Amino acid sequence: MYAIGVNLDLTNITAGVVNEQGQILSKESIPTLRYRPLSEVVADLAALVKRVAEAADVDLQTEIDHVGIGTYGTIDRRTGTLIYSAQFGFRDVPLLAEVKKHLSLPVYIENDANCYALAESHWGATKGYKNSVIVTLGTTISGGIVINHEVYHGAFFGAGEFGHHVIVMDGEKCECGRRGCWAAYASSTALVRDARIAAIRHPESEMFRMVNGDLRLMSYHIPFEAAKKGDVYALDVVHMFRRYVALGLINIVNILQPDAIAIGGKLRKIGHEFIDGVSALVYEKAFGQNEKAKTEIKLADMGYDAVIIGAAMLKPWKE
Amino acid sequence: MYAIGVNLDLTNITAGVVNEQGQILSKESIPTLRYRPLSEVVADLAALVKRVAEAADVDLQTEIDHVGIGTYGTIDRRTGTLIYSAQFGFRDVPLLAEVKKHLSLPVYIENDANCYALAESHWGATKGYKNSVIVTLGTTISGGIVINHEVYHGAFFGAGEFGHHVIVMDGEKCECGRRGCWAAYASSTALVRDARIAAIRHPESEMFRMVNGDLRLMSYHIPFEAAKKGDVYALDVVHMFRRYVALGLINIVNILQPDAIAIGGKLRKIGHEFIDGVSALVYEKAFGQNEKAKTEIKLADMGYDAVIIGAAMLKPWKE
């Protein structure tokens, strides 16, 4: 049997036929165009599901066990309701009911970071670890928790909001409305903000030169590249960013002490050198870490396909 | 059958015979006198175990299933080794092997906060909740996590170190050697420190008057009592303390989203009014909290006996 995994995000809907080894047989993306009625988004999603099945030459009714959808926000796994999504601007949306109008297969809906965590823990960076965490460092920070090889949802399907734990009380404003959240320091948005501030203060800096004085061109790559060229202001931005990332990870270790934490999201592209620096800080500072007992800090290695693969791995909900 | 639970702490060794309903039939405390060889402490502990069995008129060999010991620090539940305790100044101490020299019964050793969490989740404030957390606010902060009605230990038996998650990066010095930990803001030690600073700055304050100008007499009760009398400086200390406590709880909710958090430790004696104020902040600020989905913030209700009762509830370790 096969399953179809769908990643419904702000920009694209991507669907793929996945086999039982976690391999994608066919895949296609279409734009989400999210500023239109949900019914239209879902109609496109259902048509996409049918197309990828055809492309993989598998029969939707007899060869596909179920469709799994990973998407933003807090999802009620029992009912397939999107309880809350700040990004989509949704509250209590009956997504499953809408999808079922188009598809007569079983459909399961799950938070995308939880799908990511599920896939990485079975096929990827956290494979084989009993308790693991995935943290996605991107424009914001999200995450998923795996305990006893299963996704841990918390009381109301909202566990793992690592980005919104506070590391600096009354600190930088966060998109969630509070202040001092980890996401306000260790996301790409925060890094770009800090790089812009450093560059505008120091027009003599390599960072300023690299954007030709146009701060709109600042990206998360630039402070790292400028730091390699010896820009002291970029070195400071990168150094502080490393501390911010490490601090949140240390907090996760001190609370959950997982066997491993995998870093996903676009900032994983900064690469191993950055993660090694972060890991060193975590090992030095976190409680009870030593050569015999280390929470492994790793790069996630399945990329964006992990959400599709994890969504395809979903099972019927049981309490 | 019965079990004997032991609370081995810095000041006292307390042992009790506990029945299968979590009731203590006999109990006795002796001083730990911890600045002596471990062998002497353990010999006293074993003699105490025998005495409480006699006092309850139960036969140690035929009517006691096991002895459970709750103590400070990170404990290897498999081997009964005290891996690390900052307070006791222990590292890799084979506590179980030492105890077994004196007792021929099965002996299980567990972190005291985990015993506390276990007892409260079966007989106390967090009874009936699938996922719960206990936080002990005392001279420092410790905690235990219950997931699926069982204690969650983390990868190396060190999960639940809530007191050492950072809420103010580079903030107040913590006893653990780092800066900005929750324990450096929301413990009784921190509260007393902040009350002293406010009192010495304001000799006209009610707090200063209550200690007759002798700051050594400051206790965690005083700012609360002075605040009730309208001391504005005490009100400020209490207000900030409430925010510190709430902030750490919000972080726990955003990461773990348990069904309930119970507050234990001596600061629970501040009472319901304080907890209600803290709860209101948690509900307002934590992710995904609303009338339908609230992490309950409660006072632990079993007191110090919870460690004995939880220790008596320990079972043989299985992976």
- At residue B177, the 3 state secondary structure works out as coil
pLDDT value of residue A292? 78
Beta strands A81-85; A90-93: pairing state: antiparallel
Q: How far A238 CA sits from the closest chain B CA (Å)?
A: 17
| Beta carbons of A234 and A205 less than 8 angstroms apart | yes
Q: How far A156 CA sits from the closest chain B CA (Å)?
A: 6
Tokens coding B289: 């909290």
pLDDT value of residue A303? 84
> pLDDT tens-digit profile of A67-112?
999 998 899 999 999 998 776 777 889 999 999 999 999 999 999 9
Chain A residue numbers touching B131 (CB-CB < 8 A): 154-155
**Residue found by looking up tokens 């502080």 in the block:** A240
Running DSSP on this structure, what letter comes out for residue A181?
A: B
Q: Given an 8 Å threshold on Cβ–Cβ distance, is B287 in contact with A244?
A: no
> pLDDT tens-digit profile of B252-265?
999 999 999 999 99
Burial class (CB in 10 A: 0-12, 13-18, 19+), A28: middle
The amino acid at residue A185 is Y
Q: Given an 8 Å threshold on Cβ–Cβ distance, is B256 in contact with A255?
A: yes
Tokens coding B84: 């690390």
pLDDT value of residue B139? 93
> pLDDT tens-digit profile of A264-307?
999 999 988 899 999 999 999 898 777 778 999 999 989 889 99
Mean pLDDT of A185-201: 98
Q: How far apart are CA B54 and CA B57, in angstroms?
A: 5
B220 has a pLDDT exceeding 90: yes
Interface residues of A toward B, Cβ cutoff 8 Å, are 74, 83-84, 130-131, 147-148, 152-162, 164-169, 171, 176, 178, 243-244, 247, 250-252, 254-259, 285, 287-288, 292-293, 295
pLDDT value of residue B90? 78
Percent of chain A with pLDDT over 90: 87
Question: Between A84, A247, A293, which is nearest B156 by CB?
Answer: A293
Any residues with CB less than 8 A from the CB of B23 and at least 6 apart, and which? none
Backbone φ and ψ of A308, nearest 5°: -65, -45
Q: How far B57 CA sits from the closest chain A CA (Å)?
A: 42
Chain A residue numbers touching B258 (CB-CB < 8 A): 154-155
Mean pLDDT of B230-236: 98
| Beta carbons of A57 and A42 less than 8 angstroms apart | no
> pLDDT tens-digit profile of B101-130?
999 999 999 999 999 999 999 999 999 999
Q: Given an 8 Å threshold on Cβ–Cβ distance, is A167 in contact with B162?
A: no
Q: How far A167 CA sits from the closest chain B CA (Å)?
A: 5
Q: How far B178 CA sits from the closest chain A CA (Å)?
A: 8
Beta strands B81-85; B90-93: pairing state: antiparallel
Beta strands B24-31; B12-18: pairing state: antiparallel
- At residue A293, the 3 state secondary structure works out as strand
H or E element, residue A13: strand A12-18
Mean pLDDT of A258-265: 96
A146 has a pLDDT exceeding 90: yes
pLDDT value of residue A171? 97
Q: How far apart are CA B265 and CA B9, in angstroms?
A: 13
Q: Given an 8 Å threshold on Cβ–Cβ distance, is B155 in contact with A131?
A: yes
Q: Given an 8 Å threshold on Cβ–Cβ distance, is A257 in contact with B295?
A: no
Q: How far apart are CA A35 and CA A31, in angstroms?
A: 11
Average pLDDT over chain A, rounded to whole? 95
**Counting every residue, how long is chain A?**
319
The amino acid at residue A139 is T
pLDDT value of residue A290? 79
| Beta carbons of A6 and A44 less than 8 angstroms apart | no
Q: B176 falls in which pLDDT band (50, 70, 90)? A: confident
> pLDDT tens-digit profile of B267-294?
998 988 899 999 999 999 898 777 778 9
Question: Between B83, B162, B171, which is nearest A255 by CB?
Answer: B162
pLDDT value of residue B288? 77
Percent of chain A with pLDDT over 70: 99
Q: How far B167 CA sits from the closest chain A CA (Å)?
A: 5
pTM above 0.90, yes or no: yes
For testing the chain B interface, which of A287, A289, A295 should be mutated: the one with the most B CBs within 10 Å?
A: A287
Q: A62 falls in which pLDDT band (50, 70, 90)? A: very high
Average pLDDT over chain B, rounded to whole? 95
Q: Given an 8 Å threshold on Cβ–Cβ distance, is A169 in contact with B247?
A: yes
Q: What is the ipTM of this complex?
A: 0.92
Q: How far apart are CA B111 and CA B67, in angstroms?
A: 14
Q: Given an 8 Å threshold on Cβ–Cβ distance, is A176 in contact with B287?
A: yes
Q: Given an 8 Å threshold on Cβ–Cβ distance, is A288 in contact with B158?
A: yes
For testing the chain B interface, which of A166, A176, A240 should be mutated: the one with the most B CBs within 10 Å?
A: A166
pLDDT value of residue B295? 95
Q: Given an 8 Å threshold on Cβ–Cβ distance, is B251 in contact with A165?
A: yes
Question: Between A147, A167, A258, which is nearest B147 by CB?
Answer: A147
Q: How far A174 CA sits from the closest chain B CA (Å)?
A: 12
Running DSSP on this structure, what letter comes out for residue B240?
A: H
From the list B180, B184, B183, B185, the residue with the least C-alpha distance to B166 is B180
Chain B residue numbers touching A254 (CB-CB < 8 A): 158, 161-162, 164-165
Q: How many other β-carbons are positioned within 10 Å of the β-carbon of residue B77?
A: 19
- At residue B263, the 3 state secondary structure works out as strand
Mean pLDDT of A131-138: 96
> pLDDT tens-digit profile of B43-89?
999 999 999 999 999 999 999 999 999 998 899 999 999 998 777 77
Tokens coding A313: 């791995």
| Beta carbons of A163 and A181 less than 8 angstroms apart | yes
Q: How far apart are CA B277 and CA B279, in angstroms?
A: 5
Backbone φ and ψ of A105, nearest 5°: -85, 165
